[in-house]
Amino acid sequence: MRTALVVGTGLIGTSLALALTRRGVTVHLVDQDTDAARTAASLGAGTTESPGGTVDLAIVAVPPAYVAGTLAALLRADAAHGYLDVASVKGGPRRELEALGTDPERLRRYLGTHPMAGRERSGPLAATAELFEGSPWVLTPARDTDTEVLNQALELVAHCRAVPVVMDGGAHDSAVALVSHMPQLVSTLVAARLEHADDTAVRLCGQGIRDVTRIAGSDPAMWIDILSANPGPVADLLDALGEDLGEAVRVLRLLESAEPARRAEGAQGVERLLRRGNAGRARVPGKHGSTPAAYETIAVLISDRPGELARIFADAGRAGVNIEDVRIEHATGQQAGLVQLSVAPEAASGLAAALRERGWSLRA
Ligand SMILES: NC(=O)c1ccc[n+]([C@@H]2O[C@H](COP(=O)([O-])OP(=O)(O)OC[C@H]3O[C@@H](n4cnc5c(N)ncnc54)[C@H](O)[C@@H]3O)[C@@H](O)[C@H]2O)c1
Ligand SMILES: O=C(O)C(=O)C[C@]1(C(=O)O)C=C[C@@H](O)C=C1
């Protein structure tokens, strides 16, 4: 990739533009707020000059509600060879693009992505080139996504030193409901309890409450968009959390009892909740690089036809396997390449069998 167009030069757009510029890519910056684009340029993220032609990759980093409209306009203008967005929800933008009547041939050149890194602050001044380092970056290719665009996305992720994770768009939206959207609301609700709290209590805030409420400082406008695009799964999770809260209240009331047996039952109930929390917390992975995971690699031969890579990812998705990393070797002068898929060891043999069944050739 030699040239890129970044539309939306806030936190995410400017951060990835900084990373691309550092790797020698010429980045053109556009924002409906010209001050934001100028600020990004002054930080060294690229130029506000128009590309004056088709760029290699257009990256749309505007709030979720404006993603489909922005992409549709870029696609109509043939602004780039490949198109990505980075919105926090994936089902909505694609459906909207289809509903806008986007030519299916052009739609193949679009890939929905989502970097799982961010901050509670918005705008170009909050950006850093290192924002995505070691974090997952989800790619959601459709069955017919152009392989070249998928490769461009992998190049972007590599330039940002993030870790590509390939997923189906719907599975992505369910997963982020659990690991991002529900936590945002819970942090918000805990912080909201402080709004009218007594100063004597607020003065005592230590690191615990800072950790729990950091993301409560996020931009409401952005989160209205995100939650509007994923309300059902988040509401279901909060329903379940409400049951846990009910249980927490029940066992705490037991602890208030004068009867030793009821107090003992209460203590056991509290311990159960705390241990479940320990178990959940233990599953939160460190950033890639800090706790390296041992993956197994499956090598698949592909022909140089459009859509081959997207087809492998779709087949892995159907087999229920998450691809943790991917490397592609193109054999020079040959109409073939080798795709190295890294997966969790327990998933490797199942994935190999599923791919063989679907006609793929695996290299030992
Ligand atoms: N903030 C995060 O932690 C985070 C993390 C991952 C992905 N995302 C996603 O990245 C995208 C951008 O988020 P952000 O945090 O950088 O927001 P931001 O508010 O910092 O930046 C958004 C920028 O988009 C511009 N903009 C809005 N509408 C536009 C339009 N129609 N055309 C051109 N520019 C327009 C705004 O002026 C603003 O500068 C969102 O889709 C969000 O879901 C955010
Ligand atoms: O750490 C933060 O402040 C974030 O905003 C990060 C976070 C997240 O929930 O992990 C928030 C929303 C984005 O879609 C992706 C990342």
CA-225 nearest atom, ligand 1: 43
Nearest atom in ligand 1 to 218's CA: 1
Q: What is the ipTM of this complex?
A: 0.98
Assess if residue 287 is contained within a domain.
no
Q: What are 300-343's pLDDT values in tens digits?
A: 988 877 678 778 888 888 888 888 777 776 654 556 778 888 88
In the predicted structure, residue 287 carries a pLDDT above the cut 90: no
Residue nearest to atom 3 of ligand 2 (CA): 119
What burial class does residue 131 get, using C-beta atoms within 10 Å of its C-beta: 0-12 exposed, 13-18 middle, 19+ buried?
A: buried
Would you state the pLDDT for residue 334?
59
Q: Does ligand 1 come within 6 angstroms of the Cβ of 33?
A: yes
- 62 lies in the same domain as 124: yes
Atom in ligand 2 nearest the alpha carbon of residue 214: 3
Whether residue 339 is found in the same domain as residue 253: no
Considering the domain architecture, whether residues 134 and 23 belong to the same structural domain is answered as: yes
Q: Is 36 in the pocket of ligand 1 (CB under 6 A)?
A: yes
Residues 116 and 62 in one domain: yes
Which residue shows structure tokens 């390449």? 337
14, 162: one domain: yes
Nearest CA to ligand 2 atom 11: 118
Same-domain pairing of 217 and 131: no
SS (H, E, C) 154-211: HHHHHHCCCEEEECCHHHHHHHHHHHHHHHHHHHHHHHHCCCCCCHHHHCCCCHHHHH
Nearest ligand to the C-alpha atom of residue 119:
2
Tell me the best of 15, 86, 88 to mutate to test the pocket of ligand 2, counting ligand atoms within 8 Å of each CB and taking the most: 88
Among 11, 113, 180, 210, which is best to mutate for testing ligand 2, by the most ligand atoms less than 8 A from CB? 180
Q: In this prediction, what percent of the chain has a pLDDT beyond 70?
A: 96
CA of 118 to the centre of ligand 2 (A): 5
Number of domains in the chain: 3
pTM of the model: 0.83
- Residue 353, token pair as written in the block: 């069998």
Whether 290 maps to a domain, the answer reads: no
Tens digits of residue pLDDT in 265-279: 999 999 999 999 999
Nearest ligand 2 atom to alpha carbon 120: 3
Q: What is the largest CA-CA distance in the chain?
A: 82
- How many whole angstroms separate alpha carbon 112 and alpha carbon 137? 11
Please list, residue by residue across 84-107, b when 16 or more beta carbons sit within 10 angstroms of its beta carbon and e when fewer do.
Answer: bbbbbbbbbbbebbeeeebeeebb
Domain carrying residue 317: 296-363
Tell me how far the alpha carbon of residue 282 lies from the centroid of ligand 2, in angstroms.
Answer: 20
Q: Are residues 325 and 348 in the same domain?
A: yes
pLDDT tens for residues 191-238?
A: 999 999 999 999 999 999 999 999 999 999 999 999 999 999 999 999
Q: 3-state SS string over 214-233?
A: HHHHCCHHHHHHHHHCCHHH
Of all protein residues, the one whose alpha carbon is nearest to atom 13 of ligand 2 is 88
**Short-list 354, 100, 87, 128, CA closest to 222:** 87
Q: What percent of the chain has pLDDT over 90?
A: 80
In eight-state DSSP terms, residue 126 is G
Are the CB atoms for 53 and 80 separated by under 8 Å?
Answer: no
